[in-house]
Amino acid sequence: HQTKTPIANLLLYSELLLEDDTDNLSVQMRENIVQLHAQSEKLQFLIASLVKLSRLENGILQLSPQEEALKSMLTLAVKESKARAKGLELILHDMDEKAYFDSKWTLEAICNILDNALKYTNAGTISLSVTAYEMFVRIDIKDSGIGIKEEELPKIFSRFYRSEDTKNMEGVGIGLYLSRQIISGEGGYIKVSSVYGRGSTFSVFLPRSA
């Protein structure tokens, strides 16, 4: 609370200053305010993510899995993505499978992985497909992005881990860690395969029953 309130104030003040259409602000001052607003948003996102993690890890937030259709949850994840704004084609393959999951938190986990795919894909497509097995349902999120080096694959789910290839890009290295915590808490798991320079596939396995 002691950090969220000052950040919210910074965001509000910077937005009010940017709404000033007069000549009161110089070009340099306006650029500084834009940067202040952007950095405040990043800090707000980081704090919100850390709060979620803390509550999940300490059992304050309880996951409530139940049997649900995957299509509506994945459709919402696609709708909330920024693929169109980036000019990428996002394909959601048709499906009618069900799984055992908490719709709210699983949506967050899928959106984190999807955002990651969008961030590191500059051209091509991203696809979401579902395959059913006896005990699990697999959700594949496949991209045509920069890929991940083989030696980095075991590290990408670590808290705050950032690859050397992506340290100049936006991000705090917490999204994949949070996704793994959510999926593990539902009795599932995540696997990743990648060819460096050609893309990655994140596979989310959700249980088919309690």
Residue 66 pairs in a beta bridge with: 101
**Cβ 102 vs Cβ 65: under 8 Å:** yes
Half-sphere exposure for 141 (CA within 13 Å, toward CB):
23
CA–CA distance, 117 with 145 (Å, rounded to integer): 7
CA–CA distance, 14 with 25 (Å, rounded to integer): 12
Of the candidates 137, 8, 7, the one whose C-alpha atom is nearest the C-alpha of residue 71 is 137
3-state helix, strand, coil in the chain (%, to 5): 45, 20, 35
pLDDT along the chain (210 residues), means of 10: 70 77 71 80 74 73 90 92 82 94 94 91 92 96 93 87 66 81 94 94 94
DSSP run (H or E) holding 137: strand 136-143
Of the candidates 114, 60, 106, the one whose C-alpha atom is nearest the C-alpha of residue 84 is 114
**Cβ 61 vs Cβ 185: under 8 Å:** no
**Cβ 127 vs Cβ 167: under 8 Å:** no
Q: What is the DSSP letter of 129?
A: E
pLDDT at 170: 63
Q: What would you report as the CA-atom Rg of the chain, rounded to the nearest whole angstrom?
A: 19
pLDDT at 6: 75
